[in-house]
Amino acid sequence: MVLHTMETAKATEVRPTRTLLDQLEDAGLLLRTGVDGLYIRTAAYQEVADGIDAMVSRWAATLHATRLHMPPLIPRTSFERTNYLESFPDLMGSVHVFAGGEVEHRQLLQRATRGHPWSELLQPSELMLEPAVCHGVYPLCARRPGSGPWLFDVSGHCFRSEPSKEPTRLQSFLMHEVVYVGEAAGAEAHRDMALDRGQALLESLGLEVAAVPASDPFFGRVGNVLAASQLDEQLKTELVAEVPGNSRPTALLSANYHRDHFGRSFGIETTVGELAHSACVGFGVDRIAIALLATQGLDPSRWAPSLRSLLRL
């Protein structure tokens, strides 16, 4: 039995006549699914992503962080404790399921067969898509009062509903965070230390990044005020890079100080009984992988030995 694989010819140079996404697909790295922002990762691509993940985890291990792998879903009750519904409703994904019997099932099929909408026959489940991997750790801390401060090394698939043809803006993407939960001073110190170390880590990969004050994409007019306040208080810093093919600098990492936002929402107490503060540094694993591919070439087997060695390729 002769079997043909899906591998396509490796493109080793960025060709300006095709979009970055075209080039990633031509080079057998990401495959389109038909929905913007949802791609299948090939082995060649995933090895780069895994290399980035492992690099972050090697650093986090020196801090004695607890390594956790988050599922792509989060309990709706946890989701509702974050500010996501208030601040980013347009980005969330809610999981709905069918709980009807045979009569409702026949209605469902009739509508689907005629091309009519059928989703109103569904109901919300206990689950939401995970918008950020750090959201999964706060309930763990709340269940263990007095046992902090905590440090976590967490990764997983996240979701944001923002269809785009830019491969650095995925709907389903890999995120890796190092999260501190504890005293206020510890959270600020973690944010500063992790930002510095994150920058050194990205620079060691040959990426040229710049630290810029940033704000989250808060929704609506109230959101504009929240974003301005977040900027004023310097709660969020991004490390951005020029990615060939992208019109604007791309954030590869963000460092965030949440004050007691999550401590209050989830009821997390420090060892002295105060509301916990938290901070995280989040690595956009797909964005870093794509920035490397766009700048170092689309064939990782030809990357410099020093880079390949750092990523254990």
Touching a copy of itself, residues 112-141 (CB under 8 A): 112, 117-120, 122-127, 129, 136, 139-140
Q: Which is nearer to a copy of itself, 33 or 229 (CB)?
A: 33
Residue number, 141 or 209, with CB nearest to a copy of itself: 141
Provide, rounded to whole angstroms, the least separation between the CB of residue 8 and a copy of itself. Answer: 10
CB nearer to a copy of itself: give 241 or 281.
Answer: 281
Closest contact distance (angstroms) between CB of 261 and a copy of itself is 17
For residue 263, how far is the Cα from the chain centroid?
21
Q: What distances in angstroms separate CA 101 from CA 96, 114, 116, 296, one per listed residue?
A: 16, 20, 20, 55
> Number of residues in contact with a copy of itself, rule: CB under 8 A?
86
Under the binding rule (CB under 8 A), the answer on residue 148 touching a copy of itself is yes
Residue 66 Cβ, how far from a copy of itself at the closest point, in Å? Answer: 4
Does 74 sit near a copy of itself (CB under 8 A)?
yes
For residue 297, state whether it binds a copy of itself (rule: CB under 8 A). Answer: no
Tokens for 12? Answer: 């080793």
Quick one: which of 52, 73, 179, 294 contacts a copy of itself (CB under 8 A)?
A: 73
Q: Is 313 in the site for a copy of itself (CB under 8 A)?
A: no
Listed residue (95, 45, 246) closest to 164, CA to CA = 246
Q: Is residue 179 within 8 Å of 151, Cβ to Cβ?
A: yes
Hey, what's the torsion of the CAs at 167, 173, 174, 179, to 10 degrees? Answer: 120
Q: Which is nearer to a copy of itself, 124 or 217 (CB)?
A: 124
Query: Is residue 225 involved in binding a copy of itself (CB under 8 A)?
Result: no
CB of 104 to a copy of itself, least distance (A): 9
CB 219 within 8 A of CB 88: yes
Binds a copy of itself (CB under 8 A): choice among 16, 102, 272, 273: 102
Sequence-ordered list of residues with C-beta below 8 angstroms from that of 62, at least 6 positions apart, any chain? none
Interface pick for a copy of itself out of 51, 167, 186, 284 (rule CB under 8 A): 186
Residue of 13, 35, 110, 164 interacting with a copy of itself (CB under 8 A): 35
In whole angstroms, the minimum distance from the beta carbon of 20 to a copy of itself comes to: 19
Q: Judge whether 277 and 260 are in contact, CB under 8 Å.
A: yes
**Residue 107 token pair:** 């209605």
Kindly write out the interface string for residues 237-276 of this chain, putting x where it contacts a copy of itself by CB under 8 A and - elsewhere.
----------------------------------------
Q: Does 149 bind a copy of itself (CB under 8 A)?
A: yes
Is position 16 an interface residue for a copy of itself (rule: CB under 8 A)? no
Tell me: does residue 46 bind a copy of itself (CB under 8 A).
Answer: yes
Quick check: bond before 149 cis, omega within 30? yes
The b/e string for 76-97 (b: 16+ C-beta within 10 A; e otherwise) is eebbebbebeebbeebbbeeee
End-to-end CA distance of the chain: 31
d(CA 71, CA 74): 7
Q: Is 93 in the site for a copy of itself (CB under 8 A)?
A: yes
Contact 145, 58 (CB under 8 A): no
- Do you know the residue count of the chain? 313
Minimum distance from residue 77 beta carbon to a copy of itself (Å): 6
